[in-house]
Amino acid sequence: KAGVTQTPRYLIKTRGQQVTLSCSPISGHRSVSWYQQTPGQGLQFLFEYFSETQRNKGNFPGRFSGRQFSNSRSEMNVSTLELGDSALYLCASRWNRGNEQYFGPGTRLTVT
Amino acid sequence: AQKITQTQPGMFVQEKEAVTLDCTYDTSDPSYGLFWYKQPSSGEMIFLIYQGSYDQQNATEGRYSLNFQKARKSANLVISASQLGDSAMYFCAMREYSGGSNYKLTFGKGTLLTVNP
């Protein structure tokens, strides 16, 4: 079974631009979560989607948004990028009744 | 207050020896789950082991075992017979179930494990 895939793997953007990251979960997994990882703040939860609905949201500004499609694929969008948004963005999926989340390889975003 | 505390920023171990990575947690939720993930330099988080708060036995997965001491709120990861490929960052994480079906992991700061030949 294929794992969680994320595209693109690397991205360089300029301050003020917006960016969209994509995540395809493991087949059959309908829950998709997003996390931001930075050296200073560590791993922080962004949001979780299930059946196209956002079920849970972390403490991030409204510039961070996401959505989930009917095939469970998810996208997250960051508008008006700031230097502090430079991070590794990790997507994870799980079977709804399962405990474990399985992570993708991440998208490394650099904002200049 | 930190919910997950990993007090060892870095650990060194000789190949083939066992190593324990510490994790303490803080929650008032009677129902919770504890996880350990491994993150190699490539960046991908690899699930290692899970322990539920009501599980009577300590979880084991191959060379990984979780030393769960509920009263002390600790969930230490034990890696037996270390291998060079075990060199990586290790994260302890917790899910609190009071949110019902909501799923959110809270992570510790991590421990960087280096296995020496």
What's the pLDDT tens digit per position in B28-75?
988 899 999 999 998 989 999 999 999 999 999 999 999 999 999 999
pLDDT of residue B17 exceeding 90 = yes
Measuring CA to CA, which residue among A104, A111, A45, A36 is closest to residue A79? A111
Decide if B108 touches A, using CB distance below 8 A: yes
Q: What is the pLDDT of residues A66-103, one digit of tens each?
A: 999 999 999 999 999 999 999 999 999 998 777 889 99
pLDDT of residue A110 exceeding 80 = yes
pLDDT of residue B1 exceeding 70 = no
Neighbours of B60 (CB within 10 A): 13
- Taking the mean position of all CA atoms in its chain, how far away is CA A8? 12
Classify residue B97 by its DSSP letter: G
pLDDT-derived band at B23, boundaries 50, 70, 90: very high
Decide if B64 touches A, using CB distance below 8 A: no
Q: Which residue bears the tokens 């009263």? A: B71
Residues whose CB falls within 8 Å of the CB of residue A50, separated by 6 or more in sequence, listed in order = A30, A31, A32, A68, A96, B101
- State the pLDDT at residue A20: 98
User: Between chains, do B102 and A55 touch, taking CB under 8 Å as contact?
Assistant: yes
User: B111 and B6 in contact (C-beta within 8 Å)?
Assistant: yes
3-state secondary structure of B107: strand
Which chain A residue has the Cα nearest residue B40?
A: A105
- Of A51-55, A108-112, B37-41, B107-111, which gets the smallest average pLDDT? A51-55
